[in-house]
Amino acid sequence: MATAGDMFPSGAPGLADSMSIHGSTEKLSPSAVNRIMMEFLMYFGRALLIFYPVYLTGYLGLSISWVVLCMVMVTWWKKNRQWKDARIGGAIHFLDNETSVVNKELHSALQMASWVHFPDFEKVEWLNKVLEQAWPFFGMYMEKLLKENIQPAIRLSSSALKMFTFTKVHFGHLPLRITGMKAYTDEVDHREVVLDLNICYESDVDIDAEVQPPIKAGVKGLKLQGMMRVILEPLIGQAPLIGGVTFFFIRRPTLQINWTGMTNLLDSPGFSSLSEGTIMDIIASLMVLPNRMCIPLIDQVKVDQMRFPLPRGVVRVHLLEARDLVAKDTYMMGLVKGKSDPYATLRVGNRQVKSKTVKENLHPRWNEVYEFVVHEAPGQELELEMYDEDTDKDDSLGTFNLDFGEVKKKIEMDQWFPLEGVQNGEVHLKLQWFSLKSDPELLRESSDGLACAMLAVYLDNASNLPKDHSEMTEHQKHKKPAKEARLTNRAATLNSYVEFAIDKDVKKSKVAYASKDPKWEEGFTFFVHNVKTQQLMIQVKEHEKKTQLGIFNLPLSRLLNTSDMTLDQRFVLERSGANSQIQLKATLRILTVEKPPPTIILNPPPQDKKQMPQTNQGGKAPASTPAVATSSSAALSPNATSTPSTASCDKQSRSDEIWRPPPSTPNMRRYDSQSLLSDNSIASSRFDLSDGASYPEAISKHQGSFGEIQLTVRYASLRNKLIVLVNSCRNLFRTSENGTDSYVRLYFLPDQTWIHRKRTQAKKRTVNPVFNHKFEFDVSLQEAQTRKLDVSVKNGKMFHSRERKDIGMVMIDLSQLELAKGVTEWYELTLPGLKL
């Protein structure tokens, strides 16, 4: 954990003095005392406003009915006002966002196909016609499967289900529909075909079952939606051209079931989520990554390689902090706003983890690290959900999804991500992509307790397992008492499972019923921290009594000396039968960080001297903004600034500027001050009173980023208006120990007069201000695409100073944006030509 001295440099003593330190050395600055006093007075005033009418009623001897009547009237007025505000706000929101609102309603109400919204998804009506024609035969196959395979398995799973019988199986007349299909051509092997299918199954299925007479259960109608990935591999040069088919859900699908019979109780609100969640867990154990369904088409294909291929890599996720979260806790009937008790859940495929809860904090810090195995990239996503912990039901604080294909491409990402579904809130994540290598020389054990390798285990089958604990070796069988022998002969069935463990990481296989030679065909992954000392413990156990049927210990150091760091063989079980064996495949892979792609620098063509950019008066300003290394996670704080190490220039930049690849932040554009902050931009600021003066000394000597601003630019075609929404800024340059009093000034070039000057309200004492201020311009779409936006963030405190008020600027060329769809991006602030 970083100390206070690490997070706040010694060069800012005023900031350190304003901090509250526990102990005898506690200090508060005058501004902090004033802020605390103002908050106290506001709380006192609210309490007085509530309780004084009650006191006055008692003092005058009036009836308590007057107090109740006033409270009812005030409550009615507030509810009516909220209803009117909601109607007006909804109408304004529809006018401003008619395209997105219509698309959302069509998607939810009419269930439009995914290819309508996403151009890379294709319409496959021909495939839906094939499914419609073949659906009756699919129903016949499923009826046979349920009665001949599923029904016996259910009877063996529990003694209470020995009479379970499917009495009616009908999969209805509505077939499964594919609403969109995407075929991957990049980042896939040339011997495979990868398809993503958006499936929608709204069925009139009718299935009845008899659990025990007269108890009956059934399902009449279900709805299943999700994205299924289909992999056709390997491609071969002979019929049938495809070696096998693998299909699975990348993320957990959504499921709704209409129960009948005795299970109709599960349709009630208290049980519906529980029952559907349980069934989803069963589906996830079969068809959600890392689990797959495989159909081999030729004999030469190995089922274990299809069902459990080696993962693509490992992603290490650092959950560092969050900021500006929504306050969900309120007091005194909502008059006093509190804070939140935030925690985060992270889900990748079928695995979910939960962070610790930070009490009463809208800017929580976790500094927790999680590691996830990635089986498909692109495709597999990190699903992050933020909640406010409550005693009854936790409130949502926002969600965020990130495709691991982005992390794989950039190797490392360290940035703030906006939370979706809420008004404000951001989460700070650091993600690292680790490739899996089979070279033992790359092994580097971590000193901070993180994994250095990954172990993949494929459990195939076992043979000649003992029926119970008494049947061990052949020598023990001869000495067994006659009574135990009779009991053993009665035990005709054996239900077994396998338990794997590396230290405290324990995983169990599914149960194989009624077999001394069980087949599991499952895969497991483990993170390894010390290859030389850790070992894989394997225990075969009986299902009901949990008795041990055999064990085997595999030292992980043994894999370092094998070919391809893999063992694929049958192992003799200890403390088991005379010929009891287990077949499994263990593969060890080293976690390594590959170097990011090198920076490409293109030499610009020579141009006339007249087009060379002007240097500043000091003669020391470089042609481009210098790159600053990203700060480490140990010293990150909401007040600390970090600048990505690369910068990208616009296509219309000056000729002497170098071009670098885009930054690692996908939602942020960086523009060089000399290239995009043109002469028009500087001229447009001449109407400010402080123009022509020099920058403050602190700004002139600052090395690094001046902050970022988030803007939303879109064109409302129904109203023929260009809408610019100034959302917020982050990591602004700190002008005082209490933060920065900032506002945003905007010009719609080429309009540069004082009348056309737009500005927001000033936000005081913060380096992460939230404005949410909207500006509208009456202009046609064609004209808007020929103009530019000149945006400047200014210091609102320096009214009587002759120094310049600019904190940072950015010039946005609207011809480079898709105004009809709307764009929301982060832009980095820079300053042109610092005057010393």
For the segment 589-621, what is each residue's pLDDT rounded down to a tens digit? 999 988 765 544 444 444 443 333 333 333 333
Count CB atoms within 10 A of the CB of residue 615: 13
Helices 98-105 and 64-96: angle between axes, nearest 10 degrees: 100
Of 301, 206, 314, 211, the residue nearest 260 (C-alpha): 206
Whether the per-residue pLDDT at 93 is higher than 60: the answer is yes
CA distance 302 to 219: 37
Q: Cβ distance 678 to 811 under 8 Å?
A: yes
- Beta pairing partners, 725: 712, 774
H or E stretch covering 271 = helix 269-287
Distance of CA 184 to the CA centre of its chain: 22
For the whole model, what pTM was predicted? 0.55
Of 513, 515, 567, 564, the residue nearest 538 (C-alpha): 567
pLDDT of residue 456: 93
pLDDT of residue 13: 39
Mean pLDDT in residue range 422-436: 92
- Could you report the per-residue pLDDT of 471-518, keeping only the tens digit for each? 664 445 444 444 444 444 444 568 899 999 999 999 999 888 888 899
pLDDT of residue 233: 85
Mean pLDDT in residue range 556-574: 91
Q: Cβ distance 623 to 657 under 8 Å?
A: yes
Determine how β-strand 668-669 pairs with β-strand 823-828: parallel
The amino acid occupying position 207 is I
Q: What are the Cα distances from residue 465, in Å, to 491, 508, 524, 549, 696? A: 13, 18, 22, 7, 81
Of 2, 10, 3, the residue nearest 634 (C-alpha): 2
DSSP strands (E only) in 94-213: 165-170, 177-184, 193-212
For the chain, what are the domain ranges?
49-88, 125-307, 325-437, 453-468+495-589, 684-829
How confident is residue 309, by pLDDT bands cut at 50, 70 and 90?
Answer: confident
CA distance 221 to 595: 52
Whether the per-residue pLDDT at 681 is higher than 70: the answer is no
CA distance 192 to 690: 64
Residue with tokens 């600048």: 643
Based on DSSP, count helices (H) and strands (E) in the chain, helices before strands.
17, 34
Mean pLDDT, all residues of the chain: 75
State both tokens at 597.
Answer: 């792609």
Domains 325-437 and 684-829 share a fold: yes
Mean pLDDT in residue range 42-59: 78
Q: What are phi and psi of 469, to 5 degrees?
A: -70, -25
- Could you report the per-residue pLDDT of 388-401, keeping only the tens digit for each? 988 878 889 999 99
CA distance 308 to 299: 17
How confident is residue 19, by pLDDT bands cut at 50, 70 and 90?
Answer: very low
**Residue 658 DSSP code:** -
Q: Which CATH number fits domain 684-829: 2.30.40.10, 2.60.40.10, 3.40.50.800, 2.60.40.150?
A: 2.60.40.150
Q: 101 Cβ partners below 8 Å, 6+ apart?
A: 93, 94
Mean pLDDT in residue range 445-453: 86
Determine how β-strand 351-354 pairs with β-strand 177-184: unpaired
Whether the per-residue pLDDT at 800 is higher than 70: the answer is no
DSSP strands (E only) in 63-112: none
Residues in the chain: 836
pLDDT of residue 187: 64
Percent of the chain predicted with pLDDT > 90: 18
How confident is residue 373, by pLDDT bands cut at 50, 70 and 90?
Answer: very high
Q: What are the Cα distances from residue 815, in Å, to 638, 653, 712, 714? A: 34, 14, 15, 12
Q: What is the DSSP string of 305-342?
A: HHHSPPPSEEEEEEEEEEES-----EETTTTEE----E
Superfamily of domain 325-437: C2 domain (2.60.40.150)
Q: Which of 471-480, 654-663, 719-728, 775-784 has the lowest mean pLDDT?
A: 654-663
Whether the per-residue pLDDT at 833 is higher than 80: the answer is no
H or E stretch covering 407 = helix 404-410
Q: Cβ distance 654 to 673 under 8 Å?
A: no
Q: Which CATH number fits domain 453-468+495-589: 3.40.1260.10, 3.30.300.30, 2.60.40.150, 3.90.79.10?
A: 2.60.40.150
Q: Cβ distance 210 to 169 under 8 Å?
A: no
Mean pLDDT in residue range 145-163: 80
- Could you report the per-residue pLDDT of 745-777, keeping only the tens digit for each? 888 888 767 667 788 888 888 888 888 888 888
3-state secondary structure of 133: helix
Mean pLDDT in residue range 230-249: 87
CA distance 176 to 299: 30
CA distance 582 to 569: 8
Q: What is the DSSP string of 569-627?
A: EEEEPBSS-TT-EEEEEEEEEEEEPPPPPPPP-BPPPP--GGGSPPPPTTS---SSPPP
CA distance 550 to 469: 9
pLDDT of residue 259: 76
pLDDT of residue 314: 94
Mean pLDDT in residue range 718-731: 85
